[in-house]
Amino acid sequence: MREILRNTRRFLSGLKPVKVPDAPARSFRDLWPGDAARGARLLRGEFECLGTTRRLDPAAEGNADAAEGWDPAAGPLTWRCAAHGFAWLRDLRALGTDAARMRARDLTEDWLARGAEQDLAQAPEVAAARVSAWLGHWDFLAATAEDGFRRKLLIRLAQDGRAVVASLPAEALHRGALVTLKGAMAAAVALEEEAWMTRALRFLPGELDRQSHPDGGHVERSPGQLLLALQDLIEMRNLLHGAGLNPPPILAAVLERAGQALRLFLHGDGGLALFNGTRDEGPSLVGLVLTQGQARGRAPMLLEESGFHRLQAGRTLVIADGGAPPPGRARDAASGLPRGADRFSHAGTLSFEMSVGRDRLIVNCGAAPAAEAEWRDALRATAAHSTMVLADTNSSELKEEGLGRRPERVEADRHEANGAQWLEASHDGWRKPFGAIHRRRLYLHESGDDLRGEDMLEMQEGSGRRPGFLVRFHLHPAVTASPQQDGESVLLRLPSGHGWRLRAKGAKVAVEESLYLGAEARRSSQIVLQAEPDEDTVQWAISRIVATAPGEPAEG
pLDDT tens digits for range 327-343: 998 888 888 899 999 99
Per-residue pLDDT tens over the stretch 440-485: 999 999 999 999 999 999 999 887 788 999 999 999 999 999 999 8
Burial class (CB in 10 A: 0-12, 13-18, 19+), 533: exposed
User: 106 — phi, psi (to 5°)?
Assistant: -65, -45
**Residue 27's pLDDT is what?**
78
In three state form, how does the secondary structure of 129-188 look? HHHHHHHHCHHHHCCCCCHHHHHHHHHHHHHHHHHHHHHCCCCCCCCHHHHHHHHHHHHH
In DSSP terms, 514 is beta-bridged to: 524
| C-alpha triplet 235, 133, 97: angle, nearest 5° | 115
Per-residue pLDDT tens over the stretch 306-334: 999 999 999 999 999 999 999 998 888 88
User: Are 218 and 211 contacting, i.e. CB atoms less than 8 angstroms apart?
Assistant: yes
**Residue 241's pLDDT is what?**
95
In DSSP terms, 424 is beta-bridged to: 413, 441
User: Are 143 and 153 contacting, i.e. CB atoms less than 8 angstroms apart?
Assistant: no
pLDDT at 277 over 60: yes
**Residue 297's pLDDT is what?**
85
User: Are 32 and 90 contacting, i.e. CB atoms less than 8 angstroms apart?
Assistant: yes
Q: Which residue has the higher pLDDT, 326 or 486?
A: 326
pLDDT at 10 over 90: no
Whole-number Å distance between alpha carbons of 137 and 135: 5
Question: Could you write out the DSSP letters of every residue in 187-248?
Answer: HHHHHT-HHHHHHHHHHHHHHHHHHB-TTS-BTT--HHHHHHHHHHHHHHHHHHHHTT-PPP
Q: Which of 26, 24, 142 is CA-nearest to residue 92?
A: 142
Domain 308-555: which CATH class?
mainly beta
CA distances from 31 to 90, 132, 219, 292, 515 (A): 10, 11, 24, 9, 33
Positive or negative, the Cα torsion across 73, 74, 75, 77?
A: negative
Which segment of 12-21, 55-64, 94-103, 510-519 scores lowest on mean pLDDT? 12-21
pLDDT at 60 over 90: no
- Residues of the chain with pLDDT > 90, as a percent, come to 85
**Residue 127's pLDDT is what?**
98
Q: Is the pTM of this model over 0.85?
A: yes
pLDDT at 8 over 60: no
For residue 526, give the 3-state DSSP assignment.
strand
pLDDT at 63 over 70: no
140 alpha-carbon distance from chain centroid: 28
Per-residue pLDDT tens over the stretch 201-259: 999 999 999 999 999 999 999 999 999 999 999 999 999 999 999 999 999 999 999 99
Per-residue pLDDT tens over the stretch 95-122: 999 999 999 999 999 999 999 999 999 9
**Residue 555's pLDDT is what?**
60
Whole-number Å distance between alpha carbons of 314 and 254: 31
Can you tell me the mean pLDDT for 280-295? 94
Whole-number Å distance between alpha carbons of 201 and 130: 20
pLDDT at 373 over 60: yes
pLDDT at 278 over 70: yes
Positive or negative, the Cα torsion across 226, 228, 230, 232?
A: negative
Q: Which amino acid is at 364?
A: N
Per-residue pLDDT tens over the stretch 128-167: 999 999 999 999 999 899 999 999 999 999 999 999 999 9
CA distances from 296 to 138, 217, 261 (A): 32, 16, 11
CA distances from 441 to 94, 392, 396, 435 (A): 46, 22, 20, 20
Helix or strand (DSSP H, E) at 412: strand 410-417
**Residue 463's pLDDT is what?**
78
**Residue 413's pLDDT is what?**
97
Q: Using the 8-state DSSP alphabet, how is residue 296 labeled?
A: -
Extents of the domains making up the chain: 1-180, 308-555
For residue 102, give the 3-state DSSP assignment.
helix
Whole-number Å distance between alpha carbons of 259 and 233: 10
**Residue 552's pLDDT is what?**
46
User: Are 170 and 207 contacting, i.e. CB atoms less than 8 angstroms apart?
Assistant: yes
Whole-number Å distance between alpha carbons of 316 and 268: 9
156 alpha-carbon distance from chain centroid: 30
Question: Could you write out the DSSP letters of every residue in 442-473?
Answer: EEE-TTSSEEEEEEEEEEPTT--SPPPEEEEE
Q: Average pLDDT over the chain, rounded to whole?
A: 93
User: Are 120 and 126 contacting, i.e. CB atoms less than 8 angstroms apart?
Assistant: yes
CA distances from 401 to 82, 326, 369 (A): 17, 13, 12
pLDDT at 187 over 60: yes
pLDDT at 383 over 50: yes
For residue 120, give the 3-state DSSP assignment.
helix
